[in-house]
């Protein structure tokens, strides 16, 4: 039998007093560091940016508990599949904060998510963002969201919701972090699938704008840490006249519209697609291969952006390490039916893309191998 425990008044007198941080005066949420009024002002400041991204399927407006989006268009598909992706910008944000330039990292955020779901042939439909910030200032958030809105317009998706979270005591006042979530749709018969890749298929690369949003922990360590603001903002001949700061903050390219245009113009010609992100070509292209195939990439068949060579030289990376760290000039690689490669390249060029024939699919075991070793920086145009 369990004994019953009782507490009498004498025992209560021995109880500990209230903790020292529990004072008698009231403390408001604003005094704790969270300004809800500034949050409301921030929402008002971004409304025009958000509205500019809307598609006809958007229902309602921002400010509700959930974003609404009609999927009526999918009724014309044979077997519609929703495709989702989530990502962030990573430590590239530290470069933006150092530079005081916040209007492009939002493009990076959308790009990382939208390019990912594009890899299976999906059209991005809508996007949601999450902004965590040390001290909320409506103007600063509006600048960040302006970039997110621009990214959504480039990707053709609607920005239908998000969250701005103020984190006093957790983050420094000027510090912030971004994450995003994208949903798209693809008809199953038109979905890009690594299992459809065949030996002899052609690799068509699409040019990147620089490092995109990967490898910045290394890039900052060798190119930013210990440098003065003057050094970071100095125009450099080896960067084509750009400064280190400018080159590092070049926004990630969004490939959605040109690739979807080519897929529509050349149905069935593209077998699979790889978005080249963290891990470089070596650790992303293999994700678009079936078990019995390798990708053989011809080094020297595309130009390496000046900032990629600059960072790799500063870090003393050998060729192999560079290819599994950065995109090295190829932000996306399409695996294409060899009989239709020229057709696909023409469609991509018509959509404004720069393309490079960078290799082929060979028999193997789902790996990426390189021909012309030592020629990574040898492109002659």
Per-residue pLDDT of 156-177, as tens digits, reads 999 999 998 889 889 898 899 9
Q: Is the dihedral angle over the CA atoms 236, 242, 243, 244 positive or is it negative?
A: negative
pLDDT digit string (tens) for 58-107? 999 887 889 999 998 898 999 999 999 999 999 999 999 999 999 999 99
pLDDT digit string (tens) for 122-159? 999 999 999 999 988 878 888 999 999 999 999 999 99
The confidence score (pLDDT) of residue 27 equals 67
| Nearest C-alpha neighbor of 281 from the set 362, 179, 206 | 206
From edge to edge, which strands make up the β-sheet containing 270-275?
270-275, 330-336, 202-207, 355-363, 293-298, 368-371
- CA dist 148 and 46 (Å) reads 10
The confidence score (pLDDT) of residue 95 equals 96
Fold type of domain 194-371: Phosphoribosyl-aminoimidazole Synthetase; Chain A, domain 2 (3.90.650)
In angstroms, how far is CA 129 from the centroid of its own chain?
A: 12
User: Which residues on adjacent β-strands are paired with residue 20?
Assistant: none
Residue with tokens 């500019």: 52
| Nearest C-alpha neighbor of 302 from the set 353, 247, 242, 338 | 353
The confidence score (pLDDT) of residue 138 equals 77
SS3 state of residue 207: strand
- CA dist 162 and 140 (Å) reads 16
Q: Domain locations in the chain?
A: 35-190, 194-371
SS3 state of residue 292: coil
| Superfamily of segment(s) 35-190 | PurM-like, N-terminal domain (3.30.1330.10)
Which secondary-structure segment (H or E) carries 113?
A: helix 105-118
Q: What is the mean pLDDT of each run of 10 residues along the chain (381 residues)?
A: 50 59 66 68 80 94 89 92 97 94 96 98 97 86 93 98 89 92 97 97 98 96 94 95 97 98 98 97 98 98 98 97 98 98 98 97 98 95 81
The confidence score (pLDDT) of residue 5 equals 47
The confidence score (pLDDT) of residue 15 equals 57
As given in the structure block, the two tokens for residue 198 are 């065949």
User: What is this structure's pTM?
Assistant: 0.90
As given in the structure block, the two tokens for residue 218 are 């290394």
């Amino acid at each position: 039998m369990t004994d019953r425990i009782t507490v009498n008044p004498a025992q209560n007198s021995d109880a500990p007093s209230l903790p020292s941080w529990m004072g008698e005066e009231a403390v408001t949420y604003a005094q704790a560091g969270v300004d809800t009024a500034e949050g409301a002002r921030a929402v008002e400041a971004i409304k025009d940016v958000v509205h500019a991204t809307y598609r006809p399927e958007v229902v309602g407006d921002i400010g509700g508990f959930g974003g609404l989006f009609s999927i009526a268009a999918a009724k014309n598909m044979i077997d519609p599949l929703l495709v989702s992706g989530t990502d962030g910008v990573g430590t590239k944000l530290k470069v933006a904060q150092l530079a005081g330039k916040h209007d492009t990292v939002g493009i990076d955020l959308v790009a990382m998510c939208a390019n990912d779901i594009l890899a299976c042939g999906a059209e991005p439909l809508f996007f949601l963002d999450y902004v965590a910030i040390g001290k909320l200032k409506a103007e600063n958030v509006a600048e960040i969201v302006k970039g997110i809105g621009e990214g959504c317009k480039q990707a053709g998706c609607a920005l239908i919701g998000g969250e701005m979270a103020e984190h006093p005591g957790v983050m420094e006042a000027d510090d912030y972090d971004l994450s995003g979530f994208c949903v798209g749709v693809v008809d199953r018969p038109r979905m890009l699938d690594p299992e459809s890749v065949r030996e002899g298929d052609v690799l068509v690369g699409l040019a990147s704008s620089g490092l995109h949003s990967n490898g910045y922990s290394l890039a900052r360590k060798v190119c930013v840490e210990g440098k003065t603001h003057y050094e970071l903002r100095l125009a450099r001949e080896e960067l084509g006249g750009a400064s280190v700061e400018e080159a590092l903050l070049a926004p990630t390219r969004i490939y959605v519209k040109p690739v979807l245009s080519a897929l529509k113009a050349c149905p069935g010609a593209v077998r699979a697609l790889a978005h080249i992100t963290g891990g470089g070509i070596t650790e992303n292209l293999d994700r678009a291969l079936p078990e019995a195939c390798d990708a053989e990439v011809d080094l020297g068949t595309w130009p390496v952006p000046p900032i990629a060579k600059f960072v790799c030289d500063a870090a003393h990376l050998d060729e192999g390490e560079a290819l599994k760290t950065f995109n090295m000039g190829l932000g996306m690689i399409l695996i294409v039916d060899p009989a239709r490669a020229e057709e696909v390249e023409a469609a991509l060029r018509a959509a404004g893309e720069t393309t490079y024939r960078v290799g082929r699919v060979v028999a193997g075991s789902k790996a990426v191998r390189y021909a012309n070793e030592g020629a990574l920086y040898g492109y002659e145009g």
